[in-house]
Structure 1
């Protein structure tokens, strides 16, 4: 069964007498445990699509099924609960809380998980920090680690709730070439270990080269869908 399925998806914004159609008549399917990128110029609708998939912005029309649930008509409370249970996020500017340690940043999403003891939360956080190679930095603050290390922490935070879907908006945009390459390799490794689907919005050709499917957007429309069967496969 597909992890994500969109049919005739549309997003319209209205401001006074002005109507902007950000997404128009988009259909796509994303399979479990896959690496997928939405690509296109600025303003093409990449981030809007990620926001809709992530229950951050509801569609104006169409059907959007994620993890077996039609999220189109979710209330804010339903959307927040669904995000907490099923979706992790990785941002280009990391979005780590500067007053929290690396450990506390990764632990933060678990505060919403009921019936987890402190010991269980600690064990899960350290498991994820070890998986991304940051266990020895757990006591440091974001201001004390590098950009690449911050993105590793962000990946650990996205996966700590056992999310099977991670949405990453330009995750390599603020990283140098070598660091970006290591983060891409890390996300491929996490996909293998945890059967996680990663969906990216990106301009970065280095990232596009490492995914299995690309959806090309232009002016809010899906103009091409490329499936790669070569080097971008399971690492």
Structure 2
């Protein structure tokens, strides 16, 4: 049988399935990072912050790409799929530190989180930003797309992780301390294990009484 073949057929096929595949991959990626946050961060409310925040970040990234004049192609497709895993880092570190902060009150916990973890996230974002800057000098459309995607990713991720998320945590964040509770439980276990047993104390008292009577006799 006769079957025509042309190199551009692959590209046409890609643009045919790209919208549906991108939507499916995005939904699966967002659900995956939400489940991972639910399992790894020791408080169920973390998933309630991760799901809307990563969705907002992804929509913002799509808007930046559209504003920059970039359209969905093979390079931007890969960048968008990768962005889900990269953007969630800015949120997970802040949330994990917030739940482990021993401070009392939402605002105090947020301040402690930004003092201890905020600088590390900011330095990481700046280093990634500087690493992507040389791509701006490229005349290739591939590297230009990667440059715009990474600059938008780092800027939006740092802004949402260091500004929007702390504001939300200071307003509606749970006032719990997972790490502090673990320490309390450990101290209780240590005190219980080191406390003398009543039976042992009774035996020791009886032995002391017996020794005292023998000495008196």
Q: Same fold (TM over 0.5)?
A: no
User: Which of structures 1 and 2 has the larger relative contact order (alpha carbons within 8 angstroms, sep 6+)?
Assistant: 1
Structure of greater Rg: 2
> Quick check: which one's strand share is greater?
1
> Quick check: which one's helix share is greater?
2
